[in-house]
Amino acid sequence: MKDQANIKKVIATSLTAIIATVIVEIAMYAQMGVALTSGIVMARVGMMVVLAIVIVVLAILDLRFDSYITILAMILCAIGDFGGFSQVADRTSLVGLLVQLVAIIGFLASLAGIWYGIMQRKKYADRKLKERLK
């Protein structure tokens, strides 16, 4: 791990965005009347958990393609959070406001995760260039 600070930022923003996305998606499934124990909900939550594990492990190992996975996952989270924000049914109720708040937090964390993923790739490329020039 060459750059601890950026790796910590990638992990923190990724986990925040993924947790917010899972909360928003569960709220949206509940809003649509889908049982939260159904296969589609469990598969979606399971996919997000696996995605979070992959992001954390790849960020710690500092592999070549970890930034791409981070950026793609954050785009997925941003789309999910934006969709939840725009489709919440009862916007003025307490639950609706909380879902919107979590969606905004998740969306902003996703944008930060995309930025840190770009920075992660830039620092990796700079480090490899320095190794080649030596």
The pLDDT value recorded for residue 2 is 54
> How much is the pLDDT for 3?
62
Residue 1 pLDDT level (bands cut at 50, 70, 90):
very low
DSSP codes of every residue in 60-78: HHT-TTHHHHHHHHHHHHH
Tell me the C-alpha distance between 27 and 96, whole Å: 9
Secondary structure letter of residue 32 according to DSSP? H
* Spans of all domains in the chain: 4-122
Q: Is residue 20 predicted with pLDDT exceeding 50? A: yes
65-79 exposure pattern, b = at least 16 Cβ within 10 A, e = fewer:
ebbebbbebbebbbe
